[in-house]
Amino acid sequence: MFIQQIYTNCLAQAAYYIESGNEAVVIDPLRDPAPYIKLAADRGATIKYVLETHFHADFVSGHIDLANKTGASIVFGPGAVPAYKAYIAEDGEKLRIGHAHLQVLHTPGHTIESTCYLLLDEADKMKAVFTGDTLFIGDVGRPDLLSGNLPKEELASMLYDSLQSKIKTLPAGVIVYPGHGAGSACGKNISTQSYSTIGEQMVTNYALLASDKESFVTALITDLPMIPSYFFKDAVINKKGCASFDDVMRNNMRPLSVSQFKAMRNDGAIVLDTRDAMVFATGFVKGALNIGLTGDFAIWVGTLIETDARMVLVTAPGKEREAVERLARIGYERIDGYLDGGMHSWTSAQQTCESIMTFNSKECELLLETENYNLLDVRNRLEVAKNRLAGSTHIPLNLLKSKFNTLDKDTKWLIYCAGGYRSMIAASYLRSKGFHFVASIEGGIKEVIAQSPQLVEIDEER
């Protein structure tokens, strides 16, 4: 038997390849089917099933393309009603792969159709459970991500019952392989661990430690993160079906000359610049929004850009395909093209560039003493509760789109986050909305704490 977790950091998502006796299954694949097909070919195996744990909200699944290219059967658990050909397995049913089996465990709660798959090895021993978004390491799936018209309280109640009857009854040594890790918006307190065991989770996971249903529901629905708007679109796409990945890449990977790029920008396309924040700051196309590929790219694209928006891209050299692919993973398919040659082509054509000033912690000390800058903190509420720069205005980045008009456009804003990634997104967004006096703190509050701690207010009790 062979098990491989295929983890994608930018989405904090885990797909799985499981093989026995030259037969394989893939669980929750991303949109590009090529890596799974190659893995099976390299190992001389045939992909028999593509298993989906639920209709995903945070990415467009690759199950349809993978099934079409390999002849594998798509499998969902009970309650799923996809608009394409798929096998809907019964609760408790066993699917054979080689000399092993995967048993279907219907675990509604995150969504109605949420299903875990219990791996029974060649000796019919319970070896591992692939829990999707039902059970994470240290957390469970949130119950408010588009599952019919049921309220989150009812789904949370269902999830409690699923955990009690299907998960907590498994042997302590069974390995838990979750669908997401830390950073995913599908939970609120997911661990950085990539796997665990039932026994470990029984003593460390707050959701499994809840003494009764009422306390579980309360804990689960309290302080849920804001839902990125693209989640709702992706859940519908995964239920109805999507265009092939090959077609999307072919249609979106278009090199644009400077004149073509300008024409599309002037026609209303959003300029998305995916370069590193500090590189972006030194020179960019007017109106560009900076969301770097090096950070939580999918989450912030999905938060700040409408799912049906037209875009043109500026990337670092050689990063064009990665940018288009990562946008396709989350259902952004209206890419008019990318600036061929990047910013070098733009500057070589003597086009005007804008820049955003950045200041290190020591420079900020002097700046705040001598200049009329106001501080803007774009971290989330829990981060701000631990520490902040004295006198800061607080607007979390995920709320900036709806609240930027509460800020004075004529004020000088010095923006910060934890490390500098989000502050540059915010600075570029505000600049695109007509804020001329925006700057970013290099290294964020982490650097300020290290170099200029007197500027920081810390909650000693947290």
Share of the chain above pLDDT 90, in %: 88
Residue 403 C-alpha from the chain's centroid: 23
Task: Compute CA distances 257 → 227, 262, 264, 284, whole Å.
Answer: 36, 9, 11, 16
Cα gap 343→353, rounded to integer Å: 9
Cα gap 256→218, rounded to integer Å: 52
Q: Would you state the structure tokens that stand for residue 75, as one six-digit string?
A: 């499998």
**Residue 321 is which amino acid?**
R
134 and 56 Cβ atoms separated by less than 8 Å:
no
**Confidence check: pLDDT of 228 > 90:** no
Cα gap 231→433, rounded to integer Å: 25
Mean pLDDT to the nearest integer, 413-439: 96
Q: 19 pLDDT band (50/70/90 cuts)?
A: very high
Give the Cα-Cα-Cα angle 29, 89, 244 (nearest 5 degrees). Answer: 35
Mean pLDDT to the nearest integer, 389-408: 95
Domain boundaries 243-348, corresponding CATH code? 3.40.250.10
Place of tokens 């949370």: 156
**Hey, where are the domains in the chain?**
2-231, 243-348, 357-458
Taken in order 174, 179, 182, 186, is the CA torsion positive or negative? negative
pLDDT at 354: 97
Give the SS3 label for residue 288: coil
pLDDT at 148: 66
Q: Would you report the helix, strand and coil content of the chain in percent, each value rounded to 5?
A: 35, 25, 40
Cα gap 51→74, rounded to integer Å: 6
Residue-averaged pLDDT of the chain: 95
**Confidence check: pLDDT of 318 > 60:** yes
Cα gap 108→159, rounded to integer Å: 6
Q: Would you state the structure tokens that stand for residue 354, as one six-digit string?
A: 């804008």
**Confidence check: pLDDT of 461 > 80:** no
Cα gap 120→170, rounded to integer Å: 12
Mean pLDDT to the nearest integer, 122-136: 97
**Residue 157 is which amino acid?**
S
* Domain 357-458 coded CATH 3.40.50.300: no
Determine the angle formed by the axes of helices 444-451 and 361-370, rounding to 10 degrees: 90
Residues 6 or more apart in contact with residue 355 via CB below 8 angstroms: 281, 282, 283, 284
User: At 230, phi and psi to the nearest 5?
Assistant: -70, -15
pLDDT at 462: 44
Determine the angle formed by the axes of helices 34-42 and 63-70, rounding to 10 degrees: 40
140 and 207 Cβ atoms separated by less than 8 Å:
yes
Q: Would you state the structure tokens that stand for residue 184, as one six-digit string?
A: 């995913």
User: At 427, phi and psi to the nearest 5?
Assistant: -60, -45
Domain boundaries 2-231, corresponding CATH code? 3.60.15.10
Residue 265 C-alpha from the chain's centroid: 27
452 and 361 Cβ atoms separated by less than 8 Å:
yes
pLDDT at 460: 54
Q: Would you state the structure tokens that stand for residue 64, as one six-digit string?
A: 């349809």
**Confidence check: pLDDT of 178 > 50:** yes
Cα gap 420→290, rounded to integer Å: 12
pLDDT at 147: 66
pTM value?
0.93
Q: 443 pLDDT band (50/70/90 cuts)?
A: very high
Q: Would you say the CATH fold of 243-348 matches that of 2-231?
A: no
**Confidence check: pLDDT of 319 > 60:** yes
Mean pLDDT to the nearest integer, 283-294: 97
Q: Would you state the structure tokens that stand for residue 324, as one six-digit string?
A: 């288009």
pLDDT at 50: 98
43 and 2 Cβ atoms separated by less than 8 Å:
yes
**Residue 320 is which amino acid?**
E
Q: Classify residue 375 by its DSSP letter.
A: E
pLDDT tens profile 81-127: 999 999 999 999 999 999 999 999 999 999 999 999 999 999 999 99
Helix locations, 229-360, DSSP H: 230-240, 245-252, 258-266, 277-282, 297-304, 320-329, 342-348
